Amino acid sequence: MVLSASDPSRTPVVGLTTYLERAKQGVWDVRASFLPQQYFDAVTASGATAVLLPPQPRPEQAAAAVLDGLDGLILTGGLDVQPELYGAERHPLTDPARADRDAWELALLAGARERGIPVFGICRGLQLLNVALGGTLHQHLPEALGTERYRIGGGVFAENVVEVDADTRLAGLVGAGALTVHSYHHQGVDRVGDGLRVTARTDDGLVQAVETEGDDYVVAVQWHPEENAEDRRLFLGLVAAAAAYRAARFSEHQGVPA
């Protein structure tokens, strides 16, 4: 039996944004869509079906088509958000622009929020969320904070301790207080975007997590929870929210109050 998109018996479908970069495999050296396996392993291990979302031409139209089939959205890590999007001059160490990915993820985020689809941002995903809501970024934290603690290089994740605020959605997932996380970033939040609540910081004051006020599920963290295979709490939270969104959509489709 084929299950319809609104069938309550299917698992939630969670979309993950991807890179579109030059990649090699065997004799091939081409631009390709890819995402480290840890991301979609974390989603599937948490009880959802993972769908990869590479940048698309005509992003607004493509996002509208894609989002109708999703129950949750994850904005993944990657190269720096364009500083032009928040009115800043480009720093020499900011990554070259990826305008296609920025436009695609901004369209997905806007469409997801219009529909009430749960959103989870990771590293770049937090930064993009902040910029989308009118915030700005520090383009190179070693200059702003005088430390390399968040990106030690060589593909090795740094460990940092963040302090999670009580009475937040984030605290409901991982607990309030000190939490050791995996970091790999050289940018971070400067001015916080409109409607965002800071829910975690490090001891130097850097924003490490945000969420929206109200009932909508929009949670973002500056660290990389997909790197901690023993702790799926943030992914479980997103998948639970996606399942609730799916159930509400099905009830509405059936004419039953959610």
Token pair, residue 210, equals 């945000």
Q: Any catalytic annotation for residue 226?
A: yes
The active-site residue, picked from 138, 185, 186, 224, is 224
According to DSSP, the residues that pair with 162 across neighbouring strands are 179
Annotate 5-58 with DSSP letters as a single string: TT-TTSPPEEEEE-EEEEEEETTEEEEEEE--HHHHHHHHHTT-EEEEE---SS
- Return d(Cα 20, Cα 31) in angstroms, integer: 6
- Return d(Cα 168, Cα 170) in angstroms, integer: 5
Q: Any catalytic annotation for residue 148?
A: no
184 CB contacts (<8 Å, ≥6 apart)? 77, 123, 150, 151, 157, 158, 224
Q: Any catalytic annotation for residue 123?
A: yes
The active-site residue, picked from 105, 123, 138, 186, is 123
- Return d(Cα 76, Cα 217) in angstroms, integer: 16
Any idea which residues carry the catalytic annotation? 123, 224, 226
